[in-house]
Structure 1
Amino acid sequence: MTDQPTDPPTDPQPSHTPRSLIVTFYGAYGRGSADDPGGPVPIAALIRLLGAVGVDSPSVRSAVSRLKRRGLLVAGRTADGAAGYGLSDDARELLRDGDRRIYGRSPARAGEGWLLAVFSVPEEERHKRHLLRSRLARLGFGTAAPGVWIAPAHVYEETRHTLERLGLAAYVDLFKGGHLGFEPTPEAVARWWDLEALATQHRAFLDAHEPVLRRWARRRTLPPEEAYRDYLLALDSWRRLPYADPGLPASLLPDRWPGGRAARVFGALHARLRDAGGQFVAPVLA
């Protein structure tokens, strides 16, 4: 799941925009399954489902229009002839790419090494230079030196796939290796990434959603609309974080690093609320 901003967010807890919430909805509930991708989501259903998280009808329509112009949504008709919007092929691929980060990525292990990306883009194609930098940042790369980007080696396959998909592979050389000095690696890592800014984003997620998890943990029943609302808001907040956080080994992170706790909170909310929220979505889509 993606539609991330051009660069990773710097706000501790970015606001839930209509466009972001629509992308989050499609990623969670609006794309069917691998065997049955489903049809267009009726615009009336989108308005109902986004209304449950506080988005009014004009904002839904405006955001859908912008996503259509960006090539993420395509207009269509449902089986009974109602106007609706489905995901484009590119959008489906972007969401599949995002799934690996958002739902299942494990932190790097000490000793796995580092991935270096060194790139050179001709001046006449400098727009690709900005695209390349923004994509490397979204993949979790930090800056080791001008023109030299670094990430844990476990992002190699995702990096290679992303660069090939975007037609940027010809401008990049990738290297894998170890950090041999001269600065201690934890101190070097603190230069390559703004760890305090990342920690602030994790703490903001925890401040917003850990109380939600505690509240649901005390409840015996799972009212579908409430579960849907809390899950969609949590997912909309969480899905940005795995793109900003490179997933460094714990041994290289500051004491009391909040990233692991934030991941556990999201994982618990996902396990408890996603399917219950789907019970609210299904009859609206039907």
Structure 2
Amino acid sequence: MTSHAGGPPAQAEAPAPRHHQLIVSLFGLYARRHGGALQVAAIISLMQDIGVEPAGTRSSISRLKKRGVIDSVAVNGRSGYALASSVIETFIEGDERIFHPRRATATDRWLLATFTVPESQRNIRHKIRSSLIRMGFGSVTPGLWIAPGHLREEVLAHFDQHGLNEYLEFFMADHVGGADLHRNIDSWWDLPALDALYSDFLLNNAGLLASWRETDASITDPAADARAFADYLVLITQWRRLPYLDPGLPIAFLPADWNALGAERLFQELHALLSPRAERHAGRVIDAGLAGA
């Protein structure tokens, strides 16, 4: 991602998110605030603000439609797209994970999951295992999975929504003795890989925070808002997977130099700085398209 001339730099060293990932973030952030759908022209214009050519945007839109993430709709008589009804609940859950993450304490309970699937339904087994991983569960054994207890309602709702409850059993549990939880958590989750992701996030975005702190937020500047939008969309796309990979594990059981807390603070500061400016810019572009329809 290249720097923006005349303003705070974007995350130049960060691996550039894929176009379809950025579009998913765009819908998650702004479509629901503007009637649930976006005109194609607005999507293309906003993606151009972060250097994505129209052909790349159209190709990614087509891919997301085939995957069932978005549906074709008319927006004020023009071509547009809206989030598919099947994924809206997932986006609502994502709001909590991304913007209001919870971190368990050493005394909190754990959520255990086990499932039984007939050999003839391997596709169901894969779907359940993939969902458990995506929601942040660690694997104790091939048949027993564990997550912080505060995920209980989100997890139960997810598997009920997808019609998979008949294969699963869930339990709330306390750790009352046995092996050292520090050692076990390190084996149930890939902590070194997760810590490296947090470290990368800190490295890639610390300079961005310093630059935007020097910008006067009280001055309304459309050009600065456009730069903020570009930086914010990339920031959200980089960050949004981390609260799923780390389901809020207790700090007491994690390494002393765990990078998660610093990364969470950095994200929240950047979110506070960039979100209002980014919203203004996105609103201008989306509203201009609607007014011209």
Q: TM-score normalized by structure 2?
A: 0.88
User: Given the alignment, which residue of 113, 118, 134 partners 2:130?
Assistant: 134
2:62 pairs with 1:65: yes
| Whole-Å separation in 2 of the counterparts to 1:232 and 1:51 | 12
Deviations 1:220-261 (A, max 9, x none): 146100110111110000001011012111110101111011
Is contact 1:39–1:78 with CA below 8 Å preserved after alignment? no
| Whole-Å separation in 2 of the counterparts to 1:90 and 1:166 | 10
Deviations 1:115-154 (A, max 9, x none): 1101111111110111111111111110111211011111
Is contact 1:115–1:150 with CA below 8 Å preserved after alignment? yes
| CA RMSD between the two structures | 1.4
Match of 2:48 in 1: 51
Match of 2:27 in 1: 26
Match of 2:161 in 1: 165
| Whole-Å separation in 1 of the counterparts to 2:167 and 2:228 | 45
Q: CA distance change for structure 1 residues 39 and 245 in 2, over 3 Å: closer, same or farther?
A: closer
| Whole-Å separation in 2 of the counterparts to 1:115 and 1:14 | 34
| Whole-Å separation in 1 of the counterparts to 2:147 and 2:102 | 14
The structural deviation recorded for 1:40 is 3.0
Consecutive aligned runs of 4 or more in structure 1 exceeding 4 Å deviation? none
The structural deviation recorded for 1:270 is 1.1
| Whole-Å separation in 1 of the counterparts to 2:245 and 2:156 | 18
| Whole-Å separation in 2 of the counterparts to 1:174 and 1:187 | 24
Count of residues in Structure 1 that have an aligned counterpart in Structure 2? 269
Partner amino acid, structure 2, of 1:244: L
2:104 pairs with 1:108: yes
The structural deviation recorded for 1:14 is 6.0
Match of 1:266 in 2: 267
Match of 1:184 in 2: 180
2:256 pairs with 1:246: no
Match of 1:9 in 2: none
Partner amino acid, structure 2, of 1:279: R
Match of 2:236 in 1: 235
2:115 pairs with 1:119: yes
Match of 1:89 in 2: 85
| Whole-Å separation in 1 of the counterparts to 2:85 and 2:184 | 40
| Whole-Å separation in 1 of the counterparts to 2:234 and 2:56 | 17
Match of 1:275 in 2: 276
Deviations 1:191-216 (A, max 9, x none): 11111011001111111112111111
The structural deviation recorded for 1:92 is 1.8
Stretches of structure 1 lacking an aligned partner (at least 5 in a row): 1-12
Q: TM-score normalized by structure 1?
A: 0.90
Match of 1:78 in 2: 75
| Whole-Å separation in 2 of the counterparts to 1:210 and 1:234 | 12
Q: CA distance change for structure 1 residues 216 and 167 in 2, over 3 Å: closer, same or farther?
A: same
The structural deviation recorded for 1:39 is 5.2
Partner amino acid, structure 1, of 2:252: S
Partner amino acid, structure 1, of 2:204: A
Deviations 1:83-134 (A, max 9, x none): 1111121232221011111110220012112111011111111101111111
| Whole-Å separation in 2 of the counterparts to 1:54 and 1:208 | 19
Q: CA distance change for structure 1 residues 14 and 189 in 2, over 3 Å: closer, same or farther?
A: farther
95-104 or 83-92, larger mean C-alpha shift: 83-92
Deviations 1:16-70 (A, max 9, x none): 11110000011111222xxxx6153111111110111121111111111111112
1:108 alignment partner, SS class: coil
Partner amino acid, structure 2, of 1:118: T
The structural deviation recorded for 1:285 is 0.8
Partner amino acid, structure 2, of 1:236: T
| Whole-Å separation in 1 of the counterparts to 2:131 and 2:174 | 23
